[in-house]
């Protein structure tokens, strides 16, 4: 290409040139601010950089003022080695080990191109984890789709699942959990979130900063191509309007083999002490990596853009700056270490190029063909983007929604009706077996998977000698968040916290992926601000700090936003994974107990959704103190070896919990509803802070006194049956409801294959 680039000299000489800032997603006031910062109009390269870095996706401009609460309300903890703001938070789990974990969204690309969108979502989050110096050890994927039987779901879901499997399996990372949720509110706006967990020794933590004048900036990994150009600002910041102009540049294409080499190469250079600072290239590519490294370090960097290895030699310098080609990393390396660094890259067949060096000028200067095309204070690009206090207004429909309580819905009134209702629920897409999805993921690779889906949480052994391990779970009930975003966020936290505790792990820290509609809609902004406030308050109350997270806005089509969906991930630690508690029923004759209190709470429930298509009322009461006490019983019970099984109670209540424990273990149970209790409420209410456990008859007293010690109510439900026995519930409106395991399994297993082949 012989096109003359727009240089800094040109910008000074030709201040009048019209620039397409609006097409790049910048508002007029933002463009004016750039001119003010630079004292001139930006060059086209600078405009490209500011536009991607100041996009909602990269700058958090609408969410920043709210997200501060996670820091302001941070509970006292000495477990956080690295907090919010870095690529991912780092948590001390003891014995010199630390873990880092983070969840990110790849919603919009996955709607456009499900396979590559989901695949590169995994790729991006994995690079965040390796940039911290950690070895990725597991992934999980919270997924949400439109109605299960909608034709577009048949396009999106199989592609997303194949993409996650295709990329994650090829990287050699076990996929240990996640969620698959269907709701018409996600039609046109599927949520594809990806979580990665990494482990490291305390001394191996690395941060993204460019320190040491004269140190070299190395770009390594895949060559830069034309994929995903402008993806960060345009794909993630605009909604899909019918009939609008197509702003859909190529979604990035993933190469998991290159990523696998990049993981091994990166960990080898980090462990050999060859790196001063490191940063992955994700959204906004080179623009982001150079400005963030410079901004976090000595403040200056000189880059020669011609040195960037290209896959496509027709790319303009602006495109090179914006390209989101995958599988690339940037490292800052001393001149003394550079040969050793490049040797490691050669060993792994990874391309590497020195593209610049660290300076103390306070400027990020980028050259192209001998001329300066970028000369900016890097902080203004990376950190000093616009910050908005968006208007907030509680939606006018909120009161009507809350007033529409489920009390008038017809409830089953006989044993036969309860039996039929339960089967309807067991086979409904949200509760049905997810094996069709999870069997496409490798859960065994690396050989440290102790528990994986459909267990309450994934459990990974971190230290093979001591048995130290971690548990992780992600949860969110968008219907609860729609009814009450503040408590909905707390409920998501409570469920993930409970799931982790159910395995015997002590909950320690939190990450989140906040999926919402347009921040320009005051009603959405109200949902967002309430959810953040709820999550921050909840984390303070439970003593689990937020270590990082991600915000995804603009998940809406036209005026219709998705349910507010604050996905919460909780990480817990377990001193010896041998002691973990699984969900399958214990042995025949073990006693089935429920911990916690059941109230008549069916607003937003799976029953109201599946049977009546109803959403309204006040969601189940949040009692985080009760959650904490329940967790203490579950963790202590596991450590003392009292529990032969534990499973959290959430969607579709105790009966669904019993069904899952039966099917998983291959034996049913005989359960008796006490005479003074309403069978329907006991079986299907979604009251929180509850779990079903099994213990041997001789341990019942010990468990009851443990629960009493922590003030957790216990009630006896029944007894585990023989292998292959039915699940039987007696005392149901004067009759007995029972299901054979074959019937339950067949019903749960049939749904997804029938829909997706």
Q: Are 231 and 283 in contact (CB under 8 A)?
A: yes
For residues 13 and 272, which CB has a smaller minimum distance to other proteins in the complex? 272
- The minimum distance between CB 439 and other proteins, in angstroms, equals 5
CB 756, min distance to other proteins, A: 10
Site mask, other proteins, residues 390-429, x = CB under 8 A? ----------------------------------------
The alpha carbons of the chain give a radius of gyration, in whole angstroms, of: 27
Q: Any contact of residue 441 with other proteins (CB under 8 A)? A: yes
- Judged by CB under 8 A, which of 444, 558, 600, 677 binds other proteins? 444
**Separation of alpha carbons 655 and 607, rounded Å:** 11
H or E segment to which residue 176 belongs: strand 175-182
434 binds other proteins (CB under 8 A): no
| Residue 221, beta-bridge partner list | 328
* DSSP one-letter string for 41-68: PPPHHHHHHHHHHTSHHHH-TTTHHHHH
Token reading at 748 = 């749960």
33 near other proteins, rule: CB under 8 A? no
- Our finding on whether 465 is near other proteins (CB under 8 A) is no
Choice between 182 and 348, CB closer to other proteins: 348
Enter the tokens of residue 383.
């950190």
Judged by CB under 8 A, the residue of 353, 401, 446, 672 near other proteins is 446
Q: Which CA distances in Å does 242 have to 114, 149, 247?
A: 19, 22, 12
Interface stretch with other proteins, choices 249-257, 425-433, 502-510, 552-560 (CB under 8 A): 249-257
Nearest CB to other proteins, comparing residues 259 and 456:
259
Coil, helix or strand at residue 341: helix
By CB under 8 A, tell whether 162 contacts other proteins.
yes
Q: Strands 458-461, 469-475: parallel, antiparallel or unpaired by DSSP?
A: antiparallel
57 is catalytic: yes
Pairwise CA distance, residues 488 & 531, whole Å:
7
Q: How many residues bind other proteins (CB under 8 A)?
A: 32
Q: Which of the stretches 16-24, 66-74, 118-126, 255-263 binds other proteins when contact is defined by CB under 8 A?
A: 255-263
Q: Does 255 sit near other proteins (CB under 8 A)?
A: yes
Considering only 39-47, 251-259, 402-410, 591-599, which stretch makes contact with other proteins by CB under 8 A?
Answer: 251-259
Query: Using the rule CB under 8 A, is 745 a contact of other proteins?
Result: no
- Which residues, listed in sequence order, are joined to residue 198 by a DSSP beta bridge? 100, 136
Residue 396 · residue 521 · CB < 8 Å: no
Q: Does 389 bind other proteins (CB under 8 A)?
A: no
Of 137 and 426, nearer to other proteins (C-beta) is: 137
Q: Which of 66, 106, 563, 647 is catalytic?
A: 106
Which H or E element spans position 515?
Answer: strand 506-515
Please tell me whether residue 253 binds other proteins under the rule CB under 8 A.
Answer: no
Residue with tokens 């042995």: 587
Residue 342 contacts other proteins per CB under 8 A: no
Question: Strand ranges (DSSP E) for 26-134?
Answer: 80-82, 90-94, 97-105
Q: Which is closer to other proteins, CB of 146 or CB of 256?
A: 256
Question: What is the total residue count of the chain?
Answer: 757
Q: Is 449 in the site for other proteins (CB under 8 A)?
A: yes
Is residue 445 a contact point for other proteins (CB under 8 A)? yes
Among 57, 108, 150, 563, the active-site one is 57
Binding range to other proteins, per CB under 8 A, among 101-109, 281-289, 409-417, 439-447: 439-447
Based on CB atoms, which residue is closest to other proteins, 244 or 447?
Answer: 447
Q: Which residues of 193-210 are buried (b: 16+ CB within 10 A; e: fewer)?
A: bbbbbbbbeeebbbbbbb
Q: Can you tell me the distance from the alpha carbon of 66 to that of 472, in angstroms, rounded to the nearest whole number?
A: 25
For residues 555-594, which are near other proteins according to CB under 8 A? 577-578
Distance CA 236, CA 377 (A): 26
Q: Is 260 in the site for other proteins (CB under 8 A)?
A: yes
Nearest distance from residue 172's CB to other proteins, in Å? 3
Specify the residue, 460 or 732, whose C-beta has the smaller distance to other proteins.
460
Q: How far is the CB of 757 from other proteins (least distance, A)?
A: 9
Compute CA distances 594 → 492, 504, 582, 603, 613, whole Å: 21, 16, 16, 21, 29
Using CA atoms, how far apart are residues 615 and 608, in angstroms rounded to an integer?
7
Say if residues 289 and 239 touch (Cβ distance below 8 Å).
no
CB of 547 to other proteins, least distance (A): 27
**Residue 612 annotated as catalytic:** no
Which residue from 272, 289, 271 is spatially nearest to 280, judged by alpha carbons?
A: 289
Using CB under 8 A, which of 10, 404, 416, 442 touches other proteins? 442
What is the residue whose two structure tokens read 């409801």? 737
- Nearest distance, CB of residue 169 and other proteins, angstroms: 6
Site residues (CB under 8 A) for other proteins? 162, 165-166, 169-172, 255-258, 260-261, 348-349, 438-450, 461, 464, 577-578
Catalytic residues: 57, 106
């Amino acid at each position: 290409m012989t096109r003359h680039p727009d240089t800094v000299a040109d910008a000074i000489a030709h201040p009048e040139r019209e620039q397409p800032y609006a097409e790049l997603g910048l508002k007029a006031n933002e463009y004016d601010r750039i001119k003010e910062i630079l004292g001139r109009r930006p060059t086209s390269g600078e405009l490209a950089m500011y536009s991607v870095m100041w996009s909602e996706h990269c700058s958090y401009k609408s969410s920043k003022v709210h997200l501060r609460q996670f820091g302001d309300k941070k509970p006292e903890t000495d477990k956080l080695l690295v907090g919010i703001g870095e690529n991912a938070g780092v948590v001390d789990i003891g014995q010199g080990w630390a873990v880092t974990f983070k969840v990110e969204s790849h919603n919009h690309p996955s709607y456009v191109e499900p396979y590559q969108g989901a695949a590169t979502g995994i790729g991006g989050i994995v690079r965040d984890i390796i940039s911290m110096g950690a070895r990725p050890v597991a992934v999980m994927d919270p997924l949400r789709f439109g109605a299960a039987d909608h034709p577009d779901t048949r396009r999106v879901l199989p592609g997303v699942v194949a993409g996650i499997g295709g990329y994650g399996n090829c990287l050699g990372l076990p996929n240990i959990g996640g969620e698959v949720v269907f709701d018409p509110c996600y039609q046109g706006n599927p949520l594809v979130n990806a979580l990665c967990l990494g482990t490291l020794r305390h001394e191996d933590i690395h941060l993204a900063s460019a320190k040491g004048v004269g140190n070299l900036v190395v770009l390594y990994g895949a060559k830069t191509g034309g994929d995903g150009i402008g993806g960060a600002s345009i794909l993630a910041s605009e909604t899909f309007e019918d009939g609008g102009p197509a702003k859909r540049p190529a979604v990035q294409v993933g190469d998991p083999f290159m990523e696998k080499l990049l993981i091994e190469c990166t960990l080898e250079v980090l462990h050999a002490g060859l790196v001063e600072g490191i940063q992955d290239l994700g959204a906004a590519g080179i623009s982001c990596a150079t400005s963030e490294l410079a901004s976090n370090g000595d403040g200056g960097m000189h880059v020669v853009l011609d040195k960037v290895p290209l896959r496509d030699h027709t790319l303009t310098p602006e495109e090179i700056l914006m390209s989101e080609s995958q599988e690339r990393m940037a490292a800052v390396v001393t001149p003394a270490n550079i040969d050793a660094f490049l040797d490691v890259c050669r060993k792994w067949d990874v391309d590497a190029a020195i593209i610049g060096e660290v300076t103390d000028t306070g400027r990020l200067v980028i050259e192209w063909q001998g001329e300066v095309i970028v000369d900016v204070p890097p902080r203004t690009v990376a950190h000093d983007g616009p910050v908005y206090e968006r208007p907030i207004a509680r939606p006018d429909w909120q009161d009507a929604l809350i007033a529409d309580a489920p009390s008038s819905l017809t409830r089953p009134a006989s044993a036969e009706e309860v039996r039929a209702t339960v089967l309807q629920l067991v086979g409904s897409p949200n509760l049905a077996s997810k094996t069709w999805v999870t069997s496409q993921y490798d859960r065994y690779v690396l050989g440290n998977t102790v528990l994986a889906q459909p267990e309450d949480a994934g459990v990974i052994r971190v230290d093979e000698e001591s048995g130290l391990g971690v548990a992780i779970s992600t949860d969110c009930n968008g219907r609860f968040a729609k009814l009450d975003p503040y408590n909905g966020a707390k409920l998501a936290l409570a469920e993930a916290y409970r799931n982790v505790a159910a395995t015997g792990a002590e909950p320690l820290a939190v990450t989140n992926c906040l999926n919402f509609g347009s921040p320009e809609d005051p009603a959405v902004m109200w949902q967002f601000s309430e959810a953040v406030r709820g999550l921050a308050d909840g984390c303070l109350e439970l003593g689990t700090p937020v270590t990082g997270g991600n915000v995804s806005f603009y998940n809406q089509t036209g005026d219709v936003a998705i349910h507010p969906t604050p996905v919460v991930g909780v990480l817990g630690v377990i001193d010896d994974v041998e002691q973990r508690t699984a969900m399958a029923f214990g042995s025949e004759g073990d006693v089935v107990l429920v911990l916690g209190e059941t109230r008549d709470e069916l607003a937003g429930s799976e029953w109201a959704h599946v049977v009546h298509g109803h959403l309204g009322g006040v969601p189940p009461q949040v009692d985080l103190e009760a959650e904490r006490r329940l967790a203490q019983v579950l963790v202590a019970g596991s450590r003392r070896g009292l529990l032969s099984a534990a499973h959290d109670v959430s969607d579709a209540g105790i009966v669904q919990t019993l069904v899952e424990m039966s099917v998983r273990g291959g034996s049913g149970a005989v359960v008796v509803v006490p005479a003074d209790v309403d069978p329907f409420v006991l079986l299907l209410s979604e009251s929180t802070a509850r779990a079903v456990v099994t213990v041997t008859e001789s341990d019942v007293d010990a468990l009851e006194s443990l629960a009493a010690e922590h003030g957790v109510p216990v009630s006896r439900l029944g007894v585990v049956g023989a292998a292959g026995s039915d699940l039987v519930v007696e005392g149901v409106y004067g009759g007995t409801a029972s299901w054979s395991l074959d019937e339950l399994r067949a019903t749960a297993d049939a749904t997804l294959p029938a829909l997706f082949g």
